């Protein structure tokens, strides 16, 4: 059964692009091809969930420049860069810009197929994390200012009495706010609350 995710292939070499698309199609991946990074960016608004494969050396906009442009736009799809031996320094630059992997030419079919599978798996995990982060943000938005202050104290490992002293309120009042925080956040334990806040801070 074909994957729901789409593998976006960007390469100005028609033969190489078509061969890679055919290979991935044969392994039940859904592919979409682009002859340039510029063409890909024009269709960016309709970007489906999936991963991106781009060659390094392309006219108008190189693969590295594309990676940097996507990063600046907040695109979080995993990116695989394909590079010739002489382009390795450029590929390392792309890694620093946040690509998932870079593969030197010539590469075997198994190498590229496995790279795509790994990229899509990591993208799925990221998607689940983003969904959870969104839910947590919705819960955080329901907290009052004082409840958020108490929550921050709890996450920092402070005892109720210390939080009460810091905020100039009674320990009993802190307990009330703490109960409200746990209820609004849907956290059953303090460790669960801490985890939620850590995930929210990754944004």
pLDDT tens-digit profile of 71-110? 888 888 889 988 876 666 666 677 767 787 888 888 889 9
Comma-separated ranges of CATH 1.10.10.10 domains in the chain? 142-201
Percent of the chain with pLDDT over 70: 88
Q: What is the mean pLDDT of residues 114-128?
A: 77
Would the pLDDT of 22 be above 90? yes
Q: Is the pTM of this model over 0.85?
A: no
3-state secondary structure of 41: helix
Residues 6 or more apart in contact with residue 136 via CB below 8 angstroms: 185, 196, 197, 199, 200
Residue range(s) of every CATH 3.40.50.2300 domain in the chain = 6-127
CATH, domain 142-201, list 3.30.420.40, 1.10.287.3240, 1.10.10.10, 3.40.50.2020: 1.10.10.10
Average pLDDT, the chain: 85
Q: What is the pLDDT of residue 126?
A: 65
Asked whether residue 134 carries a pLDDT value surpassing 80, the answer given is: yes
* Position 1 pLDDT exceeds 60: no
Q: CB neighbours (10 Å) of residue 72? A: 9
Contact 81, 54 (CB under 8 A): yes
Q: Judge: domain 6-127, CATH 3.40.50.2300.
A: yes
Give the list of residues 6+ apart from residue 44 with CB closer than 8 angstroms, or none.
Answer: 73, 75
Roughly what angle, to the nearest 10 degrees, separates helices 190-201 and 171-185?
Answer: 70
């Amino acid at each position: 059964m074909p994957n729901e995710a789409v593998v976006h292939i960007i390469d100005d070499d028609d033969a190489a692009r078509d061969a890679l698309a055919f290979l991935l199609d044969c392994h039940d991946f859904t592919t979409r091809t682009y002859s340039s990074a510029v063409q890909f960016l024009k269709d960016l608004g309709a970007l489906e969930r999936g991963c991106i494969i781009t060659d390094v050396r392309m006219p108008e906009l190189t693969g590295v420049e594309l990676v940097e442009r996507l990063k600046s736009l907040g695109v979080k799809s995993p990116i695989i860069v394909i590079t010739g031996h002489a382009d390795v320094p450029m590929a390392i630059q792309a890694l620093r810009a946040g690509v998932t992997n870079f593969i030197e030419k010539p590469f075997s079919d198994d190498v590229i197929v496995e790279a795509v599978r790994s990229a899509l798996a990591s993208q799925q995990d990221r998607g689940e994390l983003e969904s959870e982060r969104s839910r947590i943000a919705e819960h955080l938005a329901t907290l009052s200012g004082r409840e958020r202050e108490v929550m921050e104290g709890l996450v920092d490992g402070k005892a109720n009495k210390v939080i009460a002293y810091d905020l100039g309120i009674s320990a009993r009042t802190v307990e009330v706010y703490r109960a409200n925080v746990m209820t609004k956040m849907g956290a059953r334990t303090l460790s669960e609350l801490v985890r939620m806040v850590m995930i929210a801070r990754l944004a």
